[in-house]
Amino acid sequence: MLADLAITRDTILQHAQTLPAAPQVLGGLSELLQDINTDLDQISDEIRIDPALAARVIRMSNSVAFGGGGPVASVEEAVGRVGFAEIVRLVGIATVAGIVDRSLNAYGVPAERLREAMLLHALAAEALASHTEIDPRAAYAAGLLRGIGMMVLDRMSRGRIAYDAAAFASYGEWEQACFNVRAPEVTTMILDEWRFPADTVAAIEEHLAPADNSFAAVLNLAGGIVALHRLALPGETAGWTVNADKLALAGIDEAQWHAASAQAGTTFQVQKRAL
């Protein structure tokens, strides 16, 4: 339907370059935090790669969501205030606030709804991963960035098409018909180009229909939590069913899923104020 747009890997990556640098910073930060020798100066240096992100981190570190207190005026002070445990969350919220700079008109999703869905998906993935051997910080980053493909396809549509729920059961079917590629594949191309860890890329690629990837199953079950809290995007809702097979693949039980849902929901209510 949009063959004249010549959608190729190169054009996808070109459009990805129009996004803020913040997602790449989040990936680098997650990698740094897996190294026990990383210090606060290295974390601060990573954040300062994107000046706009650094400014949002400073501003948000002063919010009630991250403790408030005396005013923070530098990245170093912000990192020192929230500490290692919270820095990925802080950068995550700052990333969402900066990267979602417009509504997804092709998908019919307002910017505020997209920001909230991305943030809750990240918190849900993090909470679920804490019950598994998957790194919660990697799960948080994956949950946050899995929607990048949708953002790029929306830019590529140039306002010429819109998702029709009556004609297509899911975004995936619509994307395939219109673009000849689906959003998770687009996200995979971009994160691979940005040198995200292979396990994160693979999990996002498979998360809508996890078969043998426990990380992908965690991301899918996190979508179920987003749906439970009524923030799932319209064309994705059907994919977020929670069943025994997905729970077993992820390595968690139903009680743990509900506990993660409650934890993510509580944290979300506090942190969304910083968006």
pLDDT band at 22; cut points 50, 70, 90: low
CB neighbour list of residue 19: distance below 8 Å, 6 or more residues apart: 99, 148, 151, 152
> Which of the listed residues 100, 134, 168 is the one where a domain comes to its end?
100
**What pLDDT does 19 receive?**
75
Residue 211 scores a pLDDT above 80: yes
pLDDT band at 133; cut points 50, 70, 90: very high
Query: Are residues 111 and 36 part of one domain?
Result: no
Query: Are residues 188 and 176 part of one domain?
Result: yes
Query: Are residues 264 and 236 part of one domain?
Result: yes
What residue spans of the chain are helical by DSSP H? 9-16, 22-33, 40-47, 51-61, 75-99, 111-129, 136-145, 148-157, 171-179, 183-193, 198-206, 214-228, 244-250, 254-271
Query: Are residues 124 and 38 part of one domain?
Result: no
Write the pLDDT tens digit of every residue in 36-68: 677 778 888 888 877 877 887 888 888 777 766
Helix (H, G, I), strand (E, B) or coil at 104: strand
Q: How many domains does the chain contain in total?
A: 2
> Which of the listed residues 65, 100, 135 is the one where a domain comes to its end?
100
Write the pLDDT tens digit of every residue in 106-126: 999 999 999 999 999 999 999
Query: Are residues 79 and 142 part of one domain?
Result: no
Query: Are residues 72 and 151 part of one domain?
Result: no
Query: Are residues 194 and 71 part of one domain?
Result: no
Residue 33 or residue 135, greater confidence = 135
How much is the average pLDDT of 6-27?
Answer: 75
Instruction: Report the alpha-carbon distance of residue 124 to residue 225 in Å, rounded.
Output: 7
How much is the average pLDDT of 15-22?
Answer: 73
Query: Are residues 190 and 96 part of one domain?
Result: no
Query: Are residues 69 and 178 part of one domain?
Result: no
Query: Are residues 43 and 4 part of one domain?
Result: no
Write the pLDDT tens digit of every residue in 143-188: 988 988 998 899 888 778 899 999 999 999 999 998 999 999 999 9
**What pLDDT does 67 receive?**
66
| Percent of the chain at pLDDT exceeding 70 | 91
> Which of the listed residues 67, 82, 100 is the one where a domain comes to its end?
100
Q: What is the CATH number of the domain that holds 250?
A: 1.10.3210.10
Structural domain of 27 = 21-100
